[in-house]
Amino acid sequence: MGILKSSILRKVAMALSGLFLVVFLIQHFTINFSSVISPSTFNQWSHFMGYHGLVQFVLQPILIFGIVFHFVMGFILEIQNKKSRGVPYAQFKGSKNASWVSRNMIISGGVVLLFLVLHFIDFWIPEMEHKYVEGSMFNAELIDEQRYYEELVHKFEPYWRVIVYVLSFVFLSMHLYHGFSSSFQTLGLKNSVKKSLLLVTRAFAIVIPLGFIVIALYHHLFSVHHLPYP
């Protein structure tokens, strides 16, 4: 019974942490998509997020903890599932009982994790160096509020990076698509409520990753081919 309770608690924690990270995904998408609509708005929002004390010293650590917690919990649950599969039982029929995505959440999650590592290398680490090594966080003379848009466009010039981003968001879509369903089931939502939420969340799982893909392709095409921005 103790092991069962521990497993259930881990699944609930996994579900809640995933839903928590969705909030940050929406915020991240909103800011990044503004770069397609209005570079000046993107610069303003990026500067606010980069230098506001509440964001930097409270929300950012919470986000990093949430990411680490979600993926660590995911790996723990995958190990548990593999152990349970080692015990034969009549009703287990592999792919007949579950889709490829549901049986390979660890793969889609692993791809997303690798993408986050690349994303941190591309954007977060250079930002930390600029603010804390070069000292712009504490020296107003070093602050450039207009640099964010140019830095974003520059990152999407290499075609290989765009390919990696596109593939990563395809896997993110698959991960979200099943993750929402799994979370609602773990949290014990009523079928009527779950069905209504699934319609919205499955649309979310497609639209948001697709939006990120559009951002990457948009900046790559306009920066590399020197097309006039609308």
What does the H/E/C string look like for the chain?
A: CHHHHHHHHHHHHHHHHHHHHHHHHHHHHHHHHHHHHCHHHHHHHHHHHHHCHHHHHHHHHHHHHHHHHHHHHHHHHHHHHHHHHCCCCCCCCHHHCCCHHHHCHHHHHHHHHHHHHHHHHHHHHHHHHHHHHCCCCCCHHHCCCCHHHHHHHHHCCCHHHHHHHHHHHHHHHHHHHHHHHHHHHHCCCCHHHHHHHHHHHHHHHHHHHHHHHHHHHHHHHHHHCCCCCC
Give the predicted TM-score (pTM) of the model. Answer: 0.85
Domain 2-79+104-226 -> CATH class: mainly alpha
Walk along the chain (230 residues) and give the pLDDT tens digit of each residue: 444 457 788 888 989 999 999 999 999 999 999 999 999 999 999 999 999 999 999 999 999 999 999 999 988 888 887 777 655 444 445 555 567 777 788 899 999 999 999 999 999 999 999 999 999 998 988 899 999 999 999 999 999 999 999 999 999 999 999 999 888 888 888 777 778 888 899 999 999 999 999 999 999 988 765 455 54
> Which residue ranges make up each domain of the chain?
2-79+104-226
- Can you give the pLDDT at residue 37? 94
